[in-house]
Structure 1
Amino acid sequence: MATMSQTWPIFTAVLALAVQLCTGEKSCAIWSSAGPVVQRDSSFRVYCACKCERKGSMFSGHPPTQQSHRDFNSTAIYFNVVNITKSRTFSCRCTCPPVLDPCGLDISAGYLPDQPKNISCIYKVKSNESGVVLCTWNRGRDTYLRNSSVLLVRTVSGNHTAGPMTYRSSSKGTDSLTASFIVPSSVQLVSVWVRAQNPLGSAVSTITNYTLSDIAMPSTPELGHPECSSRECIIRVKQPVRIQHLEIQYRAEAQTWTSYPDSALQMGLIQVRAISALEPSRLYHFRARSKFSSGLWSEWSTDVSSRTQEEAPSAELDVWYAEPASDFQSLRVYWKEANMSISRGKIIEYKVGVYSQNSGLVFSANISADARNYSAPFCASCEVIVWACNSKGLSPPARITTHHTKANLLKLVQVTKGNHSVTISWRKPETAPQHAAYVVEWYPEGHKLEELRWVRLGLNDNHTVITGVKPFECYEGAVHVVDNGSSVSVARFKGVTTVESAPTAAPSIQEKVEGNKVEVTWMEIPRGQRQGCITSYTIYLECGSGHWQNHSVPASERMHVIKDLSPAVYSLWMTASTAAGEGLAGQKVKFFIQQESQLSLLVVCVVVFMIALFLLCLCQSSAVKQRFWVFFQCLMLSDVPDPANSKWAKECTQEKGKMKLQLQPSNSNVTEAAEEEEEPILVDVEELPKPSSDIDTDVSSQLPPQTRLSPLTESTMLLSPLTTYIKSLSHDSDSSYHTQTSLDTTVDYISSHGMGNMDEEDQEEEDQEEFAEMLGFFPSLNMVTGPLAFGGKLTLDAVKIDCNDFFQNNNF
């Protein structure tokens, strides 16, 4: 166990160390040769002295960075600081035992204060007894040090001088400093100057003297709420002291201030001003300032606002129209929103009326205030009138008519393109109406109804600049000479664009194959992908063999036919072009041109040949010829002879009451009757005015004995249908029961007995023989369609030929 004498030195050392740590004893001392505050851009030394002979180290900055120091003596070192530009921190650490805290030094770098300049003072009169003097000055550049500035004031009241008195300054956050002080109304003169100082030194301004009446400023006026009519506003102005000048300014939205004329001197504390010459339905802002007979104008008062009342619109709307459709049944009318000086109020609606020269008002409609166009019904002798309506009334009517005859007055239209604008110029017409004007319209191609824009110009103008033209957009339009609301002459332009490039898309196509040709149809490229004005389309056609061809089509076309294509597989695609170049290729479509079948052609040829051969064979048969000839004879009704003009009718007029009948019996008595009746039989015929409605079926009782028919013949005749004409038959038959076959059949008009020319009779017999040969082709049916019946007298109506019986009794 250590003795008390051994532990005491250790305890003493520990106690000494603890005391040093608690007291914060440093291991060194540090100082600057220029002091803790130095001027910027100056040079000096920083010294460090250790408490032992061991060497120390110099550091600077945050975090500390070791510096290259020099030895001053055995216990001290130093560091040279050259052209210091900002405040810095230096520290020094010594290696002396025991280990103690390092020592440090803060160096502040700055400038001397500048001399205060531009001292300006104003005297704000608060009342008749006193006021406040407010002075402002420029403190100069920033010194980067803690500064202080004071205002020194000396006042003169009559013969009494007071001061100088010191007033502390305050900063407005700028390079300017201010200070204020109260002075009584008895003070006439003041003298002011400023002193500024910091740790490096101080600076004093020059003395400035003021006469208070020269810098006197009234307090800011107080304005009451304006009371306004449509053209005038009344404003109340309140001041704490009497003033001699009052200025009131007013302005509408986004306009400059306008000063109202000043009034007389020696005004009271409350003034009433009437501000006239205002516009209706405008929101006006007002402000005011005042001034004594001398001195300074007061600050502007706070703005007050009020709106004037409305009036009926003062002028007609700027109206234009899109040309009517092909049916001329409607007219799209457009109008621009009038400015406030014309509308004189808030437009609550628009009115559209259609007037006819003959019947007056034929249509009217109230349109929403947000609308800018309307499709109105229209007629050739009508005009469309548009009004704007506010709470006070209607605007003057704006008229549009389209029935004027258009004359070719405009001779030239020139279009000059800019970066974002287009200049349209034209020649002034030599003969134009006295009160005419120009209307220049423009719109994106194909979108007139949706995006029509126009500008109205005077007759002396010859050009206009269109602004707001979108790049990569194609425009078209026209220049109109307008008189009395109607276009009397027009010159059009199209294909106008400011910036364009090749299209970014191709048309979508559809193909239709017909034989050896293909019909190609396509739609327009979407508006946003045209990139300008389309000048042409190109159709590319590629054959399966690799051969290809192209077809250029104008931009106005939407269909193209490619003909004379050989059988093959084809690929088809399209592109569109602008003045800047050809666009991207579209999607390829494939189609096939088929080869015509040789077998089908051969079958068609064989069928045609067989039909022709069959018809040729039929034409060789005389029977076919005769049948068709008879058929066509009956169809040609215009060739049926008229019994009234027959030879028999003419002879009958000479020998009335007699006619020659050639009867031919039937069945078994045919031969006998032929031998007995070789001589003609005369029959008395009585002409009646019209034929009897009933035909007597008892023929035998009407005839002489030599003409009676056998019972079989009589029954046969009775069973046959009656006819309205007379037929003569000659039959040969092997048996009375056998169906009779016509061997020699003749049909002719009944002629007179023995009165005709023999040559004519011979000719008739030859004609009858030829007709019998023609009828020989038909089936061997009994051609006797009716008996020889004589009821009463024979008339001309009873001997008319009816071809219907010919077809009814012959089955083809």
Structure 2
Amino acid sequence: MEKKSLSITGILCSMFSGWNWVARCLYLFWNICSLGVSGGLVQSCGHIIPESPVLALGSNFTALCILNESCLDFGNIYANQIIWKIKNKVVPREQYREINRTVSSVTFNDTSSLATPLTCNVLADGQIEQNIYGITVTLGLPPEKPTNLSCIVHQQSKLTYPMTCTWNPGRHTFLDTHFKLKSRWPRENFPDCISKDANNSCTISDVQFFVNLEVWVEVSNALGKNESDRLVFDPIEIVKPLSPHNLSVNSGILPTVLKLSWENRISTAVMKLKFNIRYRIVNETNWMQVPSEDTASPRTSFSVQGLRPHTEYVFSIRCMKEDGVGYWSDWSEEKTGVTTEDKPSKGPSVWRIINASSSPASRTVHLMWKALEPLEANGVILRYEVTVRAKSPPFHSPWKYNVNTTSLTLKLSNRTYEVTVIAYNRVGASPPSVLLIPTSNSKAPVKNIRTLPKDGKLWVGWTAPNSNVLKYVIEWCLLSNSSDCIMEWQNEPGNIQGTYLKGDIKPFKCYLITVYPLYADGQGSGQSVKAYLQQDRPSKGPTVQTKKVGKAEAVLTWNHLTVDEQNGFIRSYTIFYKTIDGNETAVSVDPSKTEYTLSSLTSDTLYTVRMMAYTDEGGRSGPDFTFTTQKFGRGEIEAIVVPVCLAFLLIVLLGVLFCFNKRDLIKKHIWPNVPDPSKSNIAQWSPQVPAKHNFNSKDQMYPEGSFTDVSVVEIEADDKKSFSEQDLKPFDLLKKEKSTSEGHSSGIGGSSCMSSPRQSVSDSDEGETTQNTSSTVQYSTVVLNGYRDQTPVQVFSRSESTQPLLDSEERSDDHGGGSDSTTQRQQYFKQNCGQDENNTDRPCFEIAKQIIPANEEDLAGFAQLQISGQSSEPLGLGLEKSTQEAALSDVLQTSTEGQTVRYETVEGNPPSVDEMPKSYLPQTVRQGGYMPQ
């Protein structure tokens, strides 16, 4: 680093303080100028000794800081005020030593802790630290002795031989170190060769042979010098010649010989050479070498023997000094050559596949043979000759086939045959390959066949049979789903019991291996085994599904992994299943199974199941599958549904039987009898005609428009209790006429169709009321057309029908002037109640019971009683007398015209006046006519 110093001006100015500092600085400046040195440099207050030293690592070092006298006079600075620092780090005072008032020293026992810069500092007045001086310290190591000095002479041409020497420079010194290669003859020194590159080599441009040369290395740096051991040698002994060139390769007369020729690039006057020749087959990496004793003499050509016929070779050559002193040259450029063809050295390997035929007397034989390897073919194979001859009677001439493929299919009988295959190239034929095709594999087979991966190959072993085996045939093929099993085989001698497969055996693939023993007179059956060169985990796990799911069990099913997915032998399956919030359960399954039943499951629960397949190298899991167990088990639903259905059927059956037994009661309440107007006897009501009349079909019983409305009002029988005895008195008169009215009454009061007549009013007090009285009593009204524009009159008619008449007949829109509705009713009665001459007995209504006074006097009396008001309005109608008289007058008038109106007594309360839209007048009807009440 640069030296650091402090001038007197800087130190003293920093020491002044107070109001007079300006004057004092001016004084000092003048004083310092008088102390100036030549060149205008300011004198320093001190310096350090030694100046920029170079130190050895780990050595002792002492530095001195010397103050100038001028600083002592003006700055009051002394040695005891000096502070030493390394990189601004204060050195401990234990390492200081005050030599005198101007000199202070510092000592370092180990320079390894020393760093640069090293400075000398003082504390001036005011405790201000100022730097006096500083030095740069360089640390390093002295050079070591160079070792392993060696030299080599590289031939560059026939006349130029530079020499290069190399050495081991030793440890790194951390300093600038210089290496020099020195050389000399016994009486002459040569210029030094200064190393410039890596400090471990140097080249002398030219050397002289046949003279000893002394060589050594000298090294130096700031801490010292050193030199290597000295070498003395003749440069001809360390020459590395140039390699031969213009190498050529030519075919010889024999198919196993190639001739090489080349040129040497060093004069035999300088040195004699020996050679190395190497060669290899094209596309191979292993080199072969000609024996060194065959090429230990000077030469420019050589014939290489023992080569393979019809094979391409690569050659290279190098040379060195004949006595072996010095260095081998580099290998020459490579050249190739091809040997000539020779006849095949061996016959092809033959095997067969026998397919059973439908005919027992014949079979199909597929012959196969392998193409010869190049070192066996010794040329290009042009064709194969196959000869088949019978070995059992009847004998026949051999069959010969010339093919250019490696297979042949024959149709042979079930006899023993011998097959011979010969390969031909341009030179000649190979030795024959013989295969025996026996009638059957009846000989002893091998035993205990086994496989073992070893050294990246698949070894197959077996136990030999007791018989004398001629040879073994090992047959194998790769099992795959994507391709057929392509058969490969190899022949092995009969004296071995194990061998490596010679094909391209791949890891993680399954092979089917079969061993056949061949005998002189037959062969044994093949014994097979599956094997892997290397196993791995399966590529995927099994996909599990449910075959059947119950309440507490589930039947799982899956398919075996394909042979391409197994990657090894499947040793076991494991099924894992769990619920959503439950622990996972594992079950181990035999690898031969494809179905398993999970039991003790929870009903109506979602399960997740997966399956893992394991080989010797580990397992892999398949996809997850979910299923839900059933809520009910097998038969539980039937146990519930069948009783419920049976109970339902029983209830339905009992209901049907009950309805059948109570059909009358049900009919009464649900669908009572409806009167049939077509069977009514209302057409027979006429004062002039007896009970049974024969009318002319052209004469209508009732003129058109006689009836305008017919209505029925039901009153419960129990309601009669509400009537007082006074109210029922008018009805007592009717009891007397019971016997006479029963045989002659007919009208709308009867029940419909075939219902028998019933009494509507009790005629005795001996308890017959309940038996003879209907549960309900209806009112039927007959509305007559007005006579000569008079207002029509509604009258009562007793009816025991349990249902009202047609709804359209019960109501009338307008009784005073309802001509449209009256006309419709008239048309209805014309259609349904008309009588013809031949059927005068069919009534429009069948009357259950009529109560009619026995004579006109009774009728007149009854009517008079009602009119005079003695009845006290037994029916509760509240009708005025004028209205009754008018109505009776109209009735009497209409009765003379052949119209009949009947009145029936009523049990119970009759409807009130407010409930009736029409006025009702009770009337008594007899066959002779109508009498007013």
- Which residue of 2 is the match for residue 222 of structure 1? 244
Q: Following TM superposition, by how much is the alpha carbon of 1:241 offset from its aligned partner in structure 2, in angstroms?
A: 0.8
Change (3 A) 1:85 1:393: farther
- Which residue of 1 is the match for residue 472 of structure 2? 437
Q: Which of 318, 336, 343 is residue 306 of structure 1 equivalent to?
A: 336
The one-letter code matched in structure 2 to 1:170 is S
Change (3 A) 1:286 1:25: farther
Q: Which has the higher contact order (CA 8 A, sep 6+)?
A: 2
Distance in 2 (CA, whole Å) between partners of 1:577 and 1:506 is 7
Q: Which of 202, 206, 212 is residue 182 of structure 1 equivalent to?
A: 206
- Which residue of 2 is the match for residue 634 of structure 1? none
Q: Tell me if structure 2 keeps the 8 A contact 1:541–1:570.
A: no
Q: Following TM superposition, by how much is the alpha carbon of 1:180 offset from its aligned partner in structure 2, in angstroms?
A: 2.6
Q: Following TM superposition, by how much is the alpha carbon of 1:288 offset from its aligned partner in structure 2, in angstroms?
A: 1.3
Q: Tell me if structure 2 keeps the 8 A contact 1:247–1:290.
A: yes
Q: Following TM superposition, by how much is the alpha carbon of 1:194 offset from its aligned partner in structure 2, in angstroms?
A: 3.5
Distance in 1 (CA, whole Å) between partners of 2:592 and 2:241 is 76
> Residues 579-602 of structure 1: CA distance to partner in whole angstroms, max 9, x if unpaired?
769975862445878659799999
Aligned ranges 1:5-16 → 2 under 5 Å: none
Q: Which of 385, 410, 427 is residue 446 of structure 2 equivalent to?
A: 410
Q: Which of 170, 173, 177 is residue 143 of structure 1 equivalent to?
A: 173
Quick check: which has more Rg, 1 or 2? 2
Distance in 2 (CA, whole Å) between partners of 1:318 and 1:173 is 64
> Residues 105-141 of structure 1: CA distance to partner in whole angstroms, max 9, x if unpaired?
1322203431x44444456677887855554444444
Are 1:107 and 2:132 counterparts?
no
Distance in 1 (CA, whole Å) between partners of 2:297 and 2:157 is 16
Aligned ranges 1:688-707 → 2 under 5 Å: none
> Residues 457-513 of structure 1: CA distance to partner in whole angstroms, max 9, x if unpaired?
432222346799888x58453341364999743222247686677997233336379
Unaligned runs of 5+ in 1: 156-160, 367-375, 604-812
Unaligned runs of 5+ in 2: 1-21, 72-76, 390-397, 647-933
Q: Following TM superposition, by how much is the alpha carbon of 1:286 offset from its aligned partner in structure 2, in angstroms?
A: 0.2
3-state secondary structure, aligned to 2:173:
coil
Change (3 A) 1:262 1:463: closer
Change (3 A) 1:551 1:275: closer
Change (3 A) 1:323 1:131: same
Change (3 A) 1:275 1:356: closer
Q: Tell me if structure 1 keeps the 8 A contact 2:558–2:594.
A: yes
Q: Following TM superposition, by how much is the alpha carbon of 1:193 offset from its aligned partner in structure 2, in angstroms?
A: 3.6
Q: Which of 38, 41, 49 is residue 58 of structure 2 equivalent to?
A: 41
Are 1:81 and 2:105 counterparts?
no
Distance in 1 (CA, whole Å) between partners of 2:103 and 2:486 is 90
3-state secondary structure, aligned to 1:113:
coil
Change (3 A) 1:65 1:424: farther
Q: Following TM superposition, by how much is the alpha carbon of 1:145 offset from its aligned partner in structure 2, in angstroms?
A: 3.1
Q: Following TM superposition, by how much is the alpha carbon of 1:23 offset from its aligned partner in structure 2, in angstroms?
A: 6.3
Q: Following TM superposition, by how much is the alpha carbon of 1:410 offset from its aligned partner in structure 2, in angstroms?
A: 0.4
Q: Tell me if structure 1 keeps the 8 A contact 2:116–2:135.
A: yes
Q: Following TM superposition, by how much is the alpha carbon of 1:289 offset from its aligned partner in structure 2, in angstroms?
A: 0.8
Q: Which of 505, 523, 534 is residue 570 of structure 2 equivalent to?
A: 534
Q: Tell me if structure 2 keeps the 8 A contact 1:497–1:532.
A: no
Change (3 A) 1:315 1:109: same
Change (3 A) 1:127 1:323: same
Are 1:68 and 2:92 counterparts?
yes
3-state secondary structure, aligned to 1:224:
strand
Distance in 2 (CA, whole Å) between partners of 1:68 and 1:549 is 75
Q: Tell me if structure 1 keeps the 8 A contact 2:243–2:264.
A: yes
Change (3 A) 1:84 1:302: farther
Change (3 A) 1:334 1:15: farther
- Which residue of 2 is the match for residue 247 of structure 1? 275
Distance in 2 (CA, whole Å) between partners of 1:363 and 1:530 is 41
Change (3 A) 1:266 1:513: closer
- Which residue of 1 is the match for residue 545 of structure 2? 509
3-state secondary structure, aligned to 2:496:
coil
Q: Which of 114, 118, 125 is residue 91 of structure 1 equivalent to?
A: 118
Are 1:587 and 2:609 counterparts?
no
Aligned ranges 1:609-688 → 2 under 5 Å: none
The one-letter code matched in structure 2 to 1:45 is T
3-state secondary structure, aligned to 2:116:
strand
In the alignment of these two chains, the number of paired residues is 570
- Which residue of 2 is the match for residue 459 of structure 1? 494
Aligned ranges 1:156-195 → 2 under 5 Å: 162-170=187-195, 173=198, 176-180=200-204, 182-184=206-208, 188-195=211-218
Change (3 A) 1:141 1:392: farther
The one-letter code matched in structure 2 to 1:162 is R
Change (3 A) 1:106 1:323: farther
Q: Tell me if structure 2 keeps the 8 A contact 1:120–1:136.
A: yes
The one-letter code matched in structure 2 to 1:254 is T
3-state secondary structure, aligned to 2:190:
strand
Aligned ranges 1:167-566 → 2 under 5 Å: 167-170=192-195, 173=198, 176-180=200-204, 182-184=206-208, 188-211=211-234, 215=237, 217=239, 219-229=241-251, 231-242=257-268, 243-252=271-280, 253-256=284-287, 258-259=289-290, 271-279=300-308, 280-292=310-322, 295-308=325-338, 311=341, 341-342=375-376, 378=409, 381=412, 405-406=440-441, 407-415=443-451, 424-434=460-470, 436-439=471-474, 441=476, 443=478, 449=484, 457-464=492-499, 473=508, 475=510, 477-481=512-516, 483=518, 488-494=524-530, 505-509=541-545, 511=547, 522-525=558-561, 530=566, 532-535=568-571, 555-556=591-592, 558=594
> Residues 312-370 of structure 1: CA distance to partner in whole angstroms, max 9, x if unpaired?
7755666878997999989797969x76644668x9x999999988986598769xxxx
Distance in 2 (CA, whole Å) between partners of 1:264 and 1:256 is 17
Distance in 2 (CA, whole Å) between partners of 1:142 and 1:302 is 40
Q: Tell me if structure 1 keeps the 8 A contact 2:353–2:365.
A: no
Q: Tell me if structure 2 keeps the 8 A contact 1:195–1:204.
A: yes
Distance in 2 (CA, whole Å) between partners of 1:108 and 1:520 is 83
The one-letter code matched in structure 1 to 2:241 is S
User: Larger % of strand: which?
Assistant: 1
> Residues 223-250 of structure 1: CA distance to partner in whole angstroms, max 9, x if unpaired?
1142343741423122231143330321
Distance in 2 (CA, whole Å) between partners of 1:398 and 1:32 is 99
Change (3 A) 1:498 1:488: same
3-state secondary structure, aligned to 1:72:
strand
Change (3 A) 1:48 1:245: same
- Which residue of 2 is the match for residue 717 of structure 1? none
Distance in 2 (CA, whole Å) between partners of 1:513 and 1:47 is 103
Distance in 1 (CA, whole Å) between partners of 2:265 and 2:474 is 56
Q: Tell me if structure 1 keeps the 8 A contact 2:48–2:133.
A: no
Distance in 1 (CA, whole Å) between partners of 2:439 and 2:45 is 111
The one-letter code matched in structure 2 to 1:237 is E
Distance in 2 (CA, whole Å) between partners of 1:461 and 1:125 is 58
Q: Tell me if structure 2 keeps the 8 A contact 1:533–1:579.
A: yes
> Residues 368-397 of structure 1: CA distance to partner in whole angstroms, max 9, x if unpaired?
xxxxxxxx7855549999999999999989
